[in-house]
Structure 1
Amino acid sequence: MDSTVQNSGTLKTTFPLTPQSTLGALLAIVRNPLDALPPSIFTEPLVFSKTAGELKAYLADPVLIHEALVKNADVLGKGDQVRRALGPALGQGLLTADGAHWKWQRQSVAGAFRHDKLLELQPTMIEAASRTRDRWIETGQGAIDISHEMMRTTFDIIVETMMSGGRGIDVERVESGISDFLKPTGWTFALGLLHAPEWIPYPGRGKAEAAVDFLRSSLLSVIEARRQHPDDRHDLVNMLLSACDPETGRRMTDVEIVDNLMTFITAGHETTALGLAWTFDLLARHPEIEKKVLQEIDAVTQGQPLNAEHVSQLVYTRQVFSEAMRLYPPAPIITRTALQDFQLGEYLIPSGTVLIVPIYAVHHHGSLWSDPEVFDPDRFSPEVAKARHRYAYMPFGAGPRVCIGNAFAVMEAVAILAVLLQKVRLAAIGSAPPKPIMKVTLRPDRAQRMNLVLR
């Protein structure tokens, strides 16, 4: 362990390295990247390590996270590992692009996520949740896979709101395609860490590539049909088709539009669905909290079906979803690569360093949360949340690249919870909750099967 310190002026240029076996780290990354996190990052503010000769800085201190992701955003890039893992599917869309290309895409879609636009989408969210509820009631009681059910519901919403129905997209195949693409990402991260050639085969690669081909070709057909038969629908597809760089006059190509639709479909429905599945599991294991949610829903709706005006009044229900995303953040790790030397706290971080913000560790950090493993929605009451550092809680990332759809996701989740909980109860199967594993997003290690009971 290198614990020596040398100074460059007043900045430290040598780092206290936490020992980490390269082989052990690679095996952990393939299995579950959360297991590759240095255990000390759950208790320390900043941890350095070297893997395969590459310096890594793990940040859990909210002040340092702000300093890195906000104050130094311009000197940080997404990095080669993100490109290798997500680039085949997402291309150079909003999640994976850097610099000017990212900035103009962000500006192009920002209008779709204004608060007034989101309010217009609430009835569509409620209708999709109602279809799921009615299907459950028609099916009757029995075991369901809640992750699958929430994927189906949120995909229904994303297609209706962003693509005006999608015109015949195969929902079931899209869902399985996204899973096939994400499943082997541990291998792509591990091989990227070794700077291995990108052609190297690995388990699941063929299935992932076939899934990407299907997903991208499905979206391309939607774009081609819209170009052939233009209309005045106010959805994301038309917004991307009409997007124009104000400085150059440049418009998006069909490939660039596919990149962004892939980003919103994968990131936009997968993460919310997972957050909801974890929420239902937590409520089933904490009946006293579920009772408070039901009391709030009943008080707000007066026993009537949920409508758009009710959603903003479901304050405690929103707190429950927020706490579920603290315990199980859908995007559990942020990575950036230093494009040049920069100051971070008392250190001079050299160009090429990989910065890792392990959101999962931050959300479970003993110095930031009391009893961090306990499910306690009161942590997000307005008074308590106001006193907390902004970067102690980051389910949607942080800085200029914070998820553009965060308000959409929360609004959607609260609506779905309220519509479903009014009529059904979900009971956990098994005494122990599933273990979270990272496949880019935070998924359960087994199918989240729950017993559906009609109220």
Structure 2
Amino acid sequence: MLNATKMVHFLDMFLQYKILALPVSPTVVILLVIIISLIVIYNKKYARLYKLLDSIPGPSALPIIGNTIEINVDHDEIFERLSGMRQLWGARTGFSKGWLGSNPYIFISKAEHVEPIMGSSKHINKSSDYNYLHPWLGTGLLTSSGCKWHIRRKILTPAFHFRILDDFIEVFREQSNLLVEKLAKEVGKGSFNIFPYITACTLDIVCETAMGWQSNAQNDSESDYVKAVYEIGSIIQQRQAKIWLQPDLLFRFSNLYKRHENCIKILHNASNKVIREKKEEVQKQKEKKTNKQDNNVTEDDSSVFGRKKRLAFLDLLIEASKGGTVLTNEDIREEVDTFLFEGHDTTSAGLCWLLFLLASNQKIQDKVASELKDIFGDSNRSFTMKDLHEMKYLDCCIKEALRLYPSVPFLARTLQEDIKLGKHIIPAGTTAMIVLYGLHRDPEVFRNPEIFNPDNFLPENSQGRHPFAYIPFSAGPRNCIGQKFALLEEKSVASSILRKYRVEAVDRREDLTLLGELILRPKNGIRLKLYPRN
């Protein structure tokens, strides 16, 4: 911290003795006064912050650049460095500090310390780390704050009502069956990467259910959209970790900028196409309805209502736009981009980790297969909503996979006011980084936390557990609006695969290199072997 007292003393000497015997112009004096005033204000503002944070465990930080050097490592190592801070510095307290440049961070991995942040309506503003998503997602439901977030949340919540989700089951069935057909070519032919198959399936599902758009990603092995999502996630992670890439001006001169802009173009072209075609469809439906009314022709409202339910998300946005007076085209695109991304990439990662863990634990996989056998017997019929609800053990497996490998490994909030964690006061303005990867591995909550054990989520074992000890879909006011949708989708896809095939792992967990970008995924995908289910 700069010493303002010494600076004031220096100015006094300068004025009295005219250091170096140079003439002193009024302009020089004014500039010096301004500089010293700014230093005094800076010290007054940050002195308390530095004092409070000084007692919190964490690595030593350098002036200005903070701990940037510690995370200036190869892309593959960043997640390991960040998640490792819990073990090095926060094992005792459940939190530790770090500095990204001059910005203070608190890394939290204990439920009792997560609750006052995630459970509060005061700390709902996302941190500045999310700003790098703005060129792509704008300020939609994921990244917005304040009044705008409240309005968007209110508009979109009805799109995920259980009655609407029930109408999506048909799409889950169609796309899951197509995935099973696509996987048939891998049966008995050695190892393959499951990620591209699952990602294409989840993209097709979210596009058709929420947008009314058939993306046909499962029939397009080289989806530009999926590749752009992967690449922009890597670019954003690099900007977050490297302070010299954070200013927009410097970023524009980097070799990443052109790739970034190309990704944005691909992603926005896709969402704009969805919106344009949907608006044209809505307009045609209005014209058709008007013509029928003019001709006194009636139709079955249930079919129309059923269709509206199936396309509820985009329908709600277009209806809420009031012809552009409430939501502009850009507003609609923000939400479409957000849900195209969150609705497929997070679910895809969750499914792949689930299949990998089951493939690595044959006894648990056999138990899931036995449950499915009890539900379906020897029939090949498609699943129903009732069937999905009866998959109790598969549900535990999905939750346990999300415990070990949460699709979103970090959540970040900017503290709006001071909070107390243990004996420490965390000052307002600090970024609170919730490390889900560490939070879900707390040995005081989950015995043998590294072991894949679906029994952790049996009712008798979940009872009394701290509500913020397990939050794969976030928690509090900003919890994930689509979590029921995601869990039903995971059950649908996973059960379809496991009824038909037995999966076997190729890699060991300890050999996988984790990439903690926007989504937690392994560097080289997940390789499995596939065999017919006897």
* TM-score between both structures, scaled by the size of structure 2: 0.77
Measure the CA separation in 1 of the matches of 2:448 and 2:320: 47
1:133 aligns with 2:180: yes
Q: What is the aligned partner in structure 1 of residue 25 from structure 2?
A: none
Q: What is the aligned partner in structure 2 of residue 15 from structure 1?
A: 55
Measure the CA separation in 2 of the matches of 1:146 and 1:418: 15
Q: What is the aligned partner in structure 1 of residue 320 from structure 2?
A: 243
1:33 aligns with 2:79: yes
Q: What is the aligned partner in structure 2 of residue 77 from structure 1?
A: 125
Q: Is the 8 A contact 2:204 2:214 kept in 1?
A: no
Deviation at 1:348, TM superposition (A): 3.5
Measure the CA separation in 2 of the matches of 1:391 and 1:60: 10
1:160 aligns with 2:237: no
Q: What is the aligned partner in structure 2 of residue 447 from structure 1?
A: 525
In the superposition, relative to structure 1, how do residues 168 and 50 fare at CA in structure 2: closer, same or farther (>3 Å)?
Answer: closer
**Counterpart among 218, 224, 230 of residue 179 in structure 1:** 230
Deviation at 1:62, TM superposition (A): 1.3
Q: What is the aligned partner in structure 2 of residue 100 from structure 1?
A: 147
Q: What is the aligned partner in structure 2 of residue 57 from structure 1?
A: 106
Question: Structure 1: which 5+ runs fail to align?
Answer: 1-7
Q: Is the 8 A contact 1:42 1:362 kept in 2?
A: no
Q: Which letter maps to 1:108?
A: I
| Larger CA deviation: 311-320 vs 131-140 | 131-140
Deviation at 1:365, TM superposition (A): 2.0
**Counterpart among 259, 262, 287 of residue 334 in structure 2:** 259
**Counterpart among 336, 339, 345 of residue 270 in structure 1:** 345
Q: What is the aligned partner in structure 1 of residue 278 from structure 2?
A: 226
Q: Which letter maps to 1:452?
A: L
Q: What is the aligned partner in structure 1 of residue 269 from structure 2?
A: 217
Q: Is the 8 A contact 1:68 1:344 kept in 2?
A: no
Q: What is the aligned partner in structure 2 of residue 208 from structure 1?
A: 260
Larger Rg: 2
* TM-score between both structures, scaled by the size of structure 1: 0.90
Deviation at 1:445, TM superposition (A): 1.6
Measure the CA separation in 1 of the matches of 2:196 and 2:275: 27
Measure the CA separation in 1 of the matches of 2:515 and 2:202: 21
Q: Is the 8 A contact 1:28 1:36 kept in 2?
A: no
Deviation at 1:224, TM superposition (A): 1.9
In the superposition, relative to structure 1, how do residues 89 and 20 fare at CA in structure 2: closer, same or farther (>3 Å)?
Answer: farther
Instruction: State the aligned residue count.
Output: 441
Deviation at 1:141, TM superposition (A): 3.4
Deviation at 1:454, TM superposition (A): 2.2
Measure the CA separation in 1 of the matches of 2:236 and 2:345: 15
* SS, match of residue 96 in structure 2: strand
Deviation at 1:431, TM superposition (A): 4.2
Deviation at 1:12, TM superposition (A): 6.5
| Larger CA deviation: 222-231 vs 440-449 | 222-231
| Larger CA deviation: 48-57 vs 147-156 | 48-57
In the superposition, relative to structure 1, how do residues 52 and 29 fare at CA in structure 2: closer, same or farther (>3 Å)?
Answer: farther
In the superposition, relative to structure 1, how do residues 346 and 53 fare at CA in structure 2: closer, same or farther (>3 Å)?
Answer: same
* SS, match of residue 19 in structure 1: coil
The structure where helix makes up a greater share of residues is 2
In the superposition, relative to structure 1, how do residues 193 and 81 fare at CA in structure 2: closer, same or farther (>3 Å)?
Answer: farther
Measure the CA separation in 2 of the matches of 1:369 and 1:29: 32
Q: Is the 8 A contact 1:62 1:391 kept in 2?
A: yes
Measure the CA separation in 1 of the matches of 2:116 and 2:316: 33
Q: Which letter maps to 1:190?
A: A
In the superposition, relative to structure 1, how do residues 356 and 261 fare at CA in structure 2: closer, same or farther (>3 Å)?
Answer: same
Q: Is the 8 A contact 1:17 1:50 kept in 2?
A: no
1:430 aligns with 2:507: yes
Measure the CA separation in 1 of the matches of 2:90 and 2:74: 16
Deviation at 1:100, TM superposition (A): 0.8
Q: Is the 8 A contact 1:424 1:453 kept in 2?
A: yes
Deviation at 1:25, TM superposition (A): 3.2
* SS, match of residue 484 in structure 2: helix
Measure the CA separation in 2 of the matches of 1:327 and 1:271: 14
Identical amino acids, percent of aligned pairs: 24
In the superposition, relative to structure 1, how do residues 276 and 41 fare at CA in structure 2: closer, same or farther (>3 Å)?
Answer: farther
**Counterpart among 360, 366, 376 of residue 437 in structure 2:** 360
Deviation at 1:79, TM superposition (A): 2.2
